[in-house]
Copies of this chain bind each other. A is one copy, B any other.
Amino acid sequence: MYVRNAWYVAGWASEFDDNLKRVTVLEEHLVMYRIDAHTVIALEDRCPHRLMPLSKGKRIGNDIQCGYHGMTFNCEGACVRVPGQENIPASAFVHAYPVKQKNDIVFIWMGDHEQMNEDLIFDMPEFNSENWHVHQGDALHLKANYLNVAENLVDPAHVSFVHPTTLGNAASENVPVHVDTQGEVLVAWRWIRNAEPVGFFQKFGNFNGHVDRWHYYYLHLPSIAVIDFGSAAVELNLKEEERDHGVRIFALHFLTPVNQHYTIDRWMHIRNTALNDESASEQMDAMFRVAFAEDKAILEAIEEQEKLPQKRKPIRLAIDKGPTVYRRRIRDMADQENTDVADEPVRSSFIYHE
C-alpha cells in the first residue's frame, strides 16, 4: 500500500553526480544522474527493448545509451537513436519522473503528472534562517515496511523504553500522549515537566538541575517526520509556544519506501544551539546513530514477526492513538488514488512556530 501522489526523497543532493545511479522508490527502479548543479534526471531504469537496466549503460552527453544494443534516450525519456534502423518506433521510450532539488535534498514525484505541484515539496523556514543550524545526517536502511517505520515516528511512548541513554528516560514512562491532526500533518506530543534531562541534553544543554522537556512528533503524510524536541531550565516555566527560548532541535526523517520490506530513512537535524559548530554536529550524529540503531533493531524484529502466521490479532493501547490515526489516513489516501476521481495531492509544508 503506497500513496503515489506525493514528493518522496530520492537522496541528498550530494548523492547524485555525473554517474548513472540506480535508485528504487515504491518498487520502481529508476536511473538517476545529475546534469547541472540544480538538476537531477530520473528515468525508468529499463530499456524497452530487452529490459536492460539503463543504469548499466553509459552517458552520451545528457543522454543514456543502453549497454546492450545502443538504444539511446534523452532526459525526457524519448528515444533518439536505434542502431541498425532509421525509424524510431512509437513505443521506444522510457518514463521520466519529475525531480526537484530543494534545500540540498532531491525530491521525486511518483504519481500522476497532472497532479504534480512543486508547492507541495516539503519545506520549513528554518532551512534558510541565520538563527538555525542545518545539518544533514545519514541514511538508515531498514528491512522493514515504511508504515511501521513511520508509525514509530508518531509514537512518543516508545522513547522511554527504546532510547533510555539518549532521547528518553524513566520519568516519561507514564506521561500521557496527546494527538491532533492538522490538515495533512499528524501531531503527537507530550511534555515532561520538572525531570532530569535525558542523555542528549545532559550533553548539549549545560543544564544544572531539572528541566521541562518536550517531544512534538509531526508526521507529514505520507512519510516525512519532523520531531521537535528540546529542554529548558525548569525555572523558566516555559509555555508551549515559547519553545524557541529553550534548546530546541528539529530531527527530520525522510522515509523512502523502497519496497514493502525495505525502507530508507534519511535523517538530519536543524537546531537553535551550537550554530556553526561542526564538532557539535558530529557529536549529535553519534547520539542519533545510537538511538536509530535501537529503532532499527526493533523494527526489523517486528518485520520478521509479521511474516509469521498470527493466531491472535494484535491489541491496541492508549498510547497507539498516533499510529492508529496514521494508518487510517494512509489507507484512505491510497484508496482515494485508486478511484478515478482526481484529488488534491499531499501538502507537506507546515508552520512550526505558532
Chain A residues with a Cβ under 8 A of chain B: 29, 46, 48-53, 56, 65-71, 82-85, 89, 91-92, 157-158, 160-162, 173-177, 297-298, 301-302, 305-306, 308, 310, 312, 314-319
12 A-B pairs besides A83-B174, A84-B175, A85-B318 with CB distance below 8 A are A51-B306, A52-B301, A52-B305, A53-B305, A67-B162, A67-B298, A68-B158, A83-B157, A83-B161, A84-B176, A84-B317, A84-B318
Closest chain B residue to A48 by CB distance? B315
The listed residue (B29, B68, B70, B174) touching A84 by CB distance below 8 A is: B174
A173 to B60, CA, bound (A): 15
Most buried by B among A65, A160, A302: A302
A323 CB to nearest chain B CB (Å):
9
With a CB–CB cut-off of 8 A, which chain B residues contact A65? Answer: 161
Give the Cβ gap from A350 to chain B, nearest Cβ, in Å: 26
Contacts of A158 in B (CB 8 A): 68-69
Q: Are B298 and A68 in contact (CB under 8 A)?
A: yes
Query: Of B50, B162, B297, B305, which contacts A46 at CB under 8 A?
Result: B305
The answer to whether B312 touches A83, judged by C-beta atoms less than 8 angstroms apart, is no
Closest to A55 in B: B301
Residues of B within 8 A of A69 (CB): 157-158, 161, 317, 319
Sample (27) of A-B pairs whose CB atoms are under 8 Å apart: A46-B308, A48-B312, A49-B314, A49-B316, A49-B317, A50-B314, A51-B302, A52-B301, A52-B302, A56-B301, A65-B161, A66-B161, A67-B161, A68-B161, A68-B162, A69-B317, A70-B160, A71-B317, A82-B317, A83-B160, A83-B161, A83-B173, A83-B174, A84-B317, A85-B317, A91-B312, A91-B315
- Closest Cβ–Cβ distance, residue A148 to chain B (whole Å): 8
CB contact between A89 and one of B29, B52, B161, B315 (< 8 Å): that residue: B315
Residues of B within 8 A of A317 (CB): 49, 69, 71, 82, 84-85, 89
Of all chain B residues, the one with the shortest Cβ separation from A58 is B161
